[in-house]
Amino acid sequence: MNDTLLEQLLNEDESTTLDFKVAQYPFDEASNEQKSELLKDILAFTNAWRRTDAYILIGVQEIKGDRSRVVGIQHHLDDANPQQFVNSKTQRPIEFCYRGYPFEGLQLGIITIPVQERPVFLDKKDYGKLRKNVVYIRRSTSTVEANPDEIASMGAAGVTRNLKGDSKPLVQYKERSINSLPFTTESLIKWGSFGILPGIIGLICTLFLPSKIFLIIPFWLLTSLSFLVYGIGYSLKKKGYYSISKMTLKSNKNGKIFLMETYSTCPFYSATVKLKVMPKGSDQRIMGICQRNPEQHTFSFDFTTFTGQYYPIVWRKLST
């Protein structure tokens, strides 16, 4: 998002790719009925027939036929919370993001929803005003229930797109929050600092006690664990993320830590692709595995670009 694009959107009318909200969505301490408004809008725009990103501009009053008025909002949503909330309810992860954006001396909330696989719906149970197994879709400026023909067309469009193009399709990996942890970056740094000094002192002292050499082990573990906890906390505070193998921790501006999951969508079945650490002897250390066909639909994983290529040979026998 930039000022030029935002100005363009303010001069457009609401549509299948644009919506204006005067007030922030009720979320923290809100009822299920209130929170379902956000969920319904995300689902509707995700399932809408469109070729470009969809935007929900929060803190804007619509003026039909003229430039909509920026009124601003007083607080923002934490991006990780809406993502965890929405993706815990749907049968397929939805890619979207929330960000605060300063404009004309006021704060706006902007939700961006890229074009992605459809249909998406609640598959576990009803929530608030929404019913499970119902596909909600944005038509013009309204949210309605999709009819059977629309739902069938969504699936057919996905199959047609997957059958075209390269025989080695690429996948784009994304991240979503799957859990918030009960500690912060500051608490990790504090706990790690408390353990480092006693651990080192104890480790040094045991070196002068040959008959008590077994005491080295607990002090060595204490020192190592303290360094690890301190390092994780410090990295999260400075960089905002910390990765161990396929697991990623991320922190927000308040120091709260979230456990993130990296995933993608299989281009053959539209099933979820999850990362897996491969056994010794594999060509790839970590690969994306389709949850519907894990034996044949496997993909590489690039840590830098977050992309992967269809890679049907998961591992090869070691040469002897």
Q: What is the pLDDT along the chain (320 residues), one digit of tens a residue?
A: 788 888 889 988 898 889 999 999 998 888 999 999 999 999 999 988 887 789 999 999 999 878 999 999 999 988 778 888 898 889 888 888 899 999 999 999 999 998 888 888 998 889 989 999 899 999 888 889 888 877 877 765 554 444 444 445 678 888 777 777 888 888 888 887 877 777 677 666 666 665 555 566 676 677 778 888 888 888 888 877 777 666 778 887 778 888 888 888 887 766 788 888 777 767 777 888 888 778 778 888 887 777 888 887 544 443 33
Give CA–CA dist 281/224, Å, rounded.
Answer: 29
Residue 264 near residue 248, CB atoms below 8 Å: no
**53 closest CA partner among 119, 111, 121:** 111
Considering just the CA atoms, what is the radius of gyration of the chain in Å?
24
Amino acid 219: pLDDT:
66
Tell me how far apart the alpha carbons of residues 254 and 4 are, in angstroms, rounded to a whole number. Answer: 30
Domains of the chain: which residue ranges?
3-163, 180-241
Find the distance separating the first CA and the last CA of the chain, reported in whole Å: 55
Backbone φ, ψ for residue 3 (5° rounding): -60, -35
List the one residue out of 256, 298, 251 whose CA is nearest residue 273: 298
pLDDT for residue 172: 83
Single-letter code of the amino acid located at 205: C
Fold assignment, 3-163: 3.30.950
Q: What is the DSSP letter of 214?
A: G
How do strand 136-139 and strand 142-145 relate by DSSP bridges? antiparallel
CA quadruple 144, 145, 149, 152: dihedral, nearest 10: 120
Q: How far apart are CA 312 and CA 310, in angstroms?
A: 6
- Tell the residue number behind the tokens 């992967």, with chain if given: 308
Is residue 173 within 8 Å of 308, Cβ to Cβ?
A: yes
Structure token pair of residue 44? 């509707």
Residue 313, pLDDT score: 57
CB 86 within 8 A of CB 69: no
Predicted local distance difference test score (pLDDT) of residue 149 = 76
DSSP string of 180-198, one letter each residue: EEEEEHHHHHHHHHHHHHH
Q: Distance between CA 290 and CA 310 in Å, rounded?
A: 11
pLDDT of residue 92: 85
